[in-house]
Amino acid sequence: MITVSISTEEQFLHSRELWNQLVRTMRYPSIFCTWEWISTWQSNFIKKQNLFIIFVHNKKKLIGILPLYYYQPVLIQTGFCGKVLQYCGTDPLYTDHLDIICAEENRNVCIEAIFKYLKKNRVLWDVIRIPFAADDSSIISYVNKKKPLLSCYCYVRSVAPYLAIEGTFEDYIKKFKKKKRYNIRRERNKLYSELGVEYCSCDNEDVDKQLKTVFELHNKRFLHRNIVSTFNNENIEKFYLDFIENTKNSNYVWIRFIKNKERAVSAFFGFYFCDRVFFYQMGHDPEFEKYSLGSTIIYESINEAFQKKCVEYNFLQGDERYKYSWSNKERKLFDVIIFNRSIKGLFSQIIVGIRHKMSYIKNKVVNQLRSLCG
């Protein structure tokens, strides 16, 4: 017998083991769907009473989770009004590959049960938003199949380049064009021979201290370029420090450095989960900018992913050119917005529709002007 309910605070707090078991059985297990990520995010950014976490049980066994929360939107920025539910663990963090948390064989049962519950309890919501769902996710498959029956928008928000790891690292490098392969290794050798650096991890070191070094290097890099980074923020730093504390026995956090003696000159900050490496942020010392630090630390971290027999190296959201120098595939990331047939839900749908139409026209005009200017 399938039952659906809203998790109590106590149920959520005690669901860690079962929750993460389900995450590992997802079509795409994402670090951003883990219990630790969402519970750490909740304690740092929202009140507990704003949680709206949906549990699906088969008899007494937990088989599915859709973690939502009541989001306070700004109408002029989002087009949403009324009671808006959004996927947990998102704002103000940049998270993607979000999906319903369940085993792939249970996805249809769980999603059908959840939407049946939401339809029955329409007074609880006006808009539901699931940002950055991958094109191969369960929620996208369901929405595409049920689109004629749902009041929803599903549009491409970004892309996530990734490297599917097969064979050896040498096999992977050999696929590069000869000139590109030569340049990568030349820059790497120049860095090692002139500075005598080493690539190192800090899995068993003082991770809190190492994270502060990551933030320092990231901040130096952005200040040097006169760019404001949302990553350099006291609240964001506290979140990651808490996340590290909550996952210290799981080794989810991947911090790597290129060090000149004891001085870190480049940093990689990411995650390791279910045999996947998630590339999240980098930082470099501008003093050593001529040495192609970014290219070298990506080279070394991909090499390490091959040595660890990972299945994927995911660059996450963003179409930056350097990512495509290393990746061989990409996933489209969608914003899924579902509207209730309530007054506020219908009003939100109209406003969002107008905004999207205006954005489409603007992009079309810009592209035409660019083509005319040659």
254 Cβ contact partners less than 8 Å away, ≥ 6 residues apart: 201, 268, 269, 270, 271, 272, 277, 278, 301
| pLDDT at 374 exceeding the cut of 60 | no
- Average pLDDT of the chain to the nearest whole number: 90
Q: What is the pLDDT of residue 133?
A: 96
Instruction: For each of the domains in the chain, give its residue range(s) and CATH number, in order of start.
Output: 2-158+332-373 (3.40.630.30), 166-310 (3.40.630.30)
CB 278 within 8 A of CB 269: no
Q: What is the reported pTM?
A: 0.92
Percent of the chain at pLDDT above 70?
95
Within 13 A of 297's CA, how many CA atoms are on the CB side? Answer: 28
Size (the chain), residues? 374
Q: Which of 307, 291, 336, 348 is nearest to 129 (CA)?
A: 336
pLDDT at position 226: 73
Q: How far apart are CA 64 and CA 218, in angstroms?
A: 37
> In this model, does residue 27 exceed pLDDT 60?
yes
pLDDT band for position 79 (cuts 50, 70, 90): confident
Q: Which residues pair with 277 in a beta bridge?
A: 272, 313
Q: What is the pLDDT of residues 182-214, one digit of tens each?
A: 999 999 988 888 888 999 887 656 788 888 899
pLDDT, tens only, 210-227: 888 999 998 887 776 777
Instruction: Work out the pLDDT band at 354, boundaries 50, 70, 90.
Output: confident
- CA dist 70 and 42 (Å) reads 12
Report the distance separating Cα 306 and Cα 65, nearest Å: 32
Count of Cβ atoms closer than 10 Å to residue 221 Cβ? 23
Q: Residues 41, 87: contact at Cβ < 8 Å?
A: no
9-14: average pLDDT = 95
pLDDT in tens, 292-303: 899 999 999 999
